A and B are shown apart, each in its own frame.
Chain A
């Protein structure tokens, strides 16, 4: 049974329809990578799932319940948490405060401050520093740690590597691997195709607001995804075509 389902979802930015009739589902423990060019609608889709952007049509089902009209904070209480693009930390608050404020409002579960610090050891020395003063990698680790403090059942990760140095990206993904090994269910938006294919169990490629290619990551070649990414070919064999 799928943990999260999206059915014919539409989302708009004013007159612009950013997400058009998107449908997919994800089972517990799966990692779905959403790839696509800038403006393909990935971030809007993720934000609509998290409740940070209103859906103009369609449904979001979580654990069998329709959550389409629930506000973002209620979805967090159910177990859907987004790590937004650009981290969006509370810059005037310390790392510890960023983590504890999320812990105080999330679900109860295995993730607490000690476990987050175990998964992201780079945060240990900067717990008392203002999050706005951290490096990009430390900020991303704080953003993911903050989301984990809510004990999500589905973690939505938007552009984890955006704006980070290659070293910082590697550090963050190394820590993320520990989260993945723990059986996390993740929807990941990632520009780095090779990394997305390595980490994900399934890949969906978006183009102009639609999913144009979807399938198991193990059956998907980089070339096929690249062609769908740029709209050169609408998929064949292996993955399904939307």
Chain B
């Protein structure tokens, strides 16, 4: 029964990975940008939620609602000032510029908040630790379940948004062929800015959940980027439901790895990531 519990915990952990990978996958799908500042932006959002919670004494969930529009505006600005200029200079420039952005964000956070780890867990009380026993001693954490629900709702909502709204269809058209999108009257620059704003909203949600379930420090971003990247690669870059599956596969692999060997948590995830990456490269090379 321990295995069943580990797999279930892996699925729940995977939901968090899907949540943090959502924005990375969405941005790659629309703009073909690998945003290396993704993890750092999630940590920045976590600190914004932490600051709002402590400054105004409000619930982290209310603070998150306040932070979301700020992150959306930051996304719009990020596209117009960094991504748009970088994209004009070839495929390598966005990678370098987002790497630089990550360094800047990490160090600004360090300057402002210091090296101490912080968490939102104390601000949500028992909700951070409470769980239900569902069968045979297998427990399901309330916060973990909420993370899963939010991840599914966010990915499903995004899918519905892309399919059924005019802006969503414009984003899909621009993602397929930005030049042709302009030929039917779509302003690709505005669509990209809207897509980046949406991506940063999803990153902010992921950042808040990160700070609720764990601790964050200014340099936590790089590890979060790695998990998000692995989930995206496993699930298929640009595929929203693939991202959910990728996150869950990664979470389950890590938990199974830790069952096999106490040191195997990270190794288990990395091995699955490398296996999927190798298989994808093999398929591409044979095509």
Contacts and interface: CB of A to CB of B under 8 A. Distances in A.
A93 B176 contact: yes
B92 to A, nearest CB: 21
Given A100-B169, A104-B170, A105-B170, A76 B183 contact: yes
B90 interface: no
Interface in A54-107: 71-73, 76-77, 81-82, 84, 88, 90-93, 97, 100-102, 104-106
A90 B182 CA distance: 12
Contacts of A100: 166, 169
B184 interface: yes
B44 interface: no
Nearest to A104: B166
A72 B169 contact: no
Contacts of A90: 172-173, 176-177, 180-181
A134 B176 CA distance: 17
B176 A91 contact: yes
A202 to B, nearest CB: 24
The B interface is mostly helix, strand or loop, or mixed, namely: helix
Interface residues of A, number: 27
B187 interface: yes
Which size class do B's interface residues fall under? 10 to 19
Contacts of B169: 93, 97, 100-101, 104
A147 interface: yes
Contacts of B172: 90, 92-93, 97
A153 interface: no
Q: Interface centre among B170, B172, B185, by most A CB within 10 Å?
A: B185
A102 B182 contact: no
B7 to A, nearest CB: 34
Given A90-B173, A93-B173, A101 B184 contact: yes
A100 B184 CA distance: 10
Contacts of B170: 101, 104-105
A150 to B, nearest CB: 5
B186 interface: yes
A73 B187 contact: yes
Nearest to B170: A101
A20 interface: no
A92 B233 CA distance: 21
Interface string B169-210: 110110011011111111110000000000000000000000
A105 B185 contact: yes
B184 A52 contact: no
A73 B176 contact: no
Select the residue from A52, A81, A91, A101 with max chain B CB neighbours within 10 A.
A101
Given A104-B169, A105-B170, A146-B184, 17 more contacts: A52-B183, A73-B181, A73-B186, A73-B187, A73-B188, A76-B182, A76-B185, A81-B183, A88-B179, A90-B173, A90-B181, A92-B172, A100-B169, A101-B166, A101-B169, A101-B186, A106-B184
Interface of B: 166, 169-170, 172-173, 176-177, 179-188
15 contacts: A50-B183, A52-B179, A72-B179, A72-B183, A73-B183, A73-B187, A76-B182, A84-B180, A88-B180, A90-B173, A93-B172, A100-B169, A101-B184, A102-B184, A104-B166
